[in-house]
Amino acid sequence: MSTNPLLDTTGLPLFDQIKPEHVTPALDTLLADAEAALAKVVGPDVPADYDALSLLLDVSTERLGRAWGAVGHLNAVADTPELRAAFNDNLPRITEFYTRLGADERLYAKYKALNEAQKTVDPELRLSPARQRALDNALRAFVLGGAELQGQAKVRFAEIQELQAARSQAFSEHVMDETDAYAHYVRTEELDGVPDDIIQATKAMAEGESKEGHKLTLHMPVYLPVMQYANNRHLRETMYRAYSTRASEFGPSERDNTPLMTEIVALRQEEAQLLGYKTFAEVSLVPKMANSPQQVMDFLRDLAKRARPFAEKDMAELREFARTECGIDDLQAWDVAFVSEKLKEARYAFSDQEVKQYFTEPTVLKGLFGLIESLFDVKILPDTAPVWHESVRFFRIERAGKLVGQFYLDPYARTGKRPGAWMDDVRGRWKRPDNGATQTPVAHLVCNFAKGVGDKPALLTHDDVTTLFHEFGHGLHHMLTQVEDLGVSGISGVEWDAVELPSQFMENFCWEWDVVQKLTSHVDTGAHLPRELFDKMIAAKNFQSGMQTLRQIEFSLFDMRLHAEPGREANVQSVIDEVRQEVAVNIPPAFNRFQHSFSHIFAGGYAAGYYSYKWAEVLSADAYAAFEEAATPATGVLNPEVGRRYREAILEAGGSRSAMENFKAFRGREPRIDALLRHQGMS
- Is 661 among the catalytic positions? no
Radius of gyration of the chain from its Cα atoms, rounded to whole angstroms? 25
Give the rounded distance of the alpha carbon of 235 from its chain centre.
31
Q: Is 434 helix (H, G, I), strand (E, B) or coil?
A: coil
DSSP 8-state code for residue 298: H
CA-based nearest residue to 453, from 103, 156, 134, 200: 200
CA distance 427 to 319: 50
Backbone angles phi, psi at 449, to 5 degrees: -85, 165
Alpha helices in 215-331 (DSSP H): 220-229, 233-244, 258-274, 280-285, 293-325
Neighbours of 130 (CB within 10 A): 21
Burial 487-522 (b: 16+ CB within 10 A, else e): bbbbbbbbbbbbbbbbbbbbbbbbbbeebbebbbbe
Output the 3-class SS for 253-285.
HHHCCHHHHHHHHHHHHHHHHHCCCCCHHHHHH
Backbone angles phi, psi at 391, to 5 degrees: -90, 0
Report the side by side order of strands in the sheet with 422-427.
379-382, 393-399, 402-412, 442-449, 422-427
Catalytic residue among 270, 471, 554, 652: 471
Contact 426, 69 (CB under 8 A): yes
CA-based nearest residue to 566, from 168, 287, 258, 293: 293
CA-based nearest residue to 300, from 550, 500, 547, 498: 550
Q: Is 444 helix (H, G, I), strand (E, B) or coil?
A: strand
**Which positions are catalytic?**
471
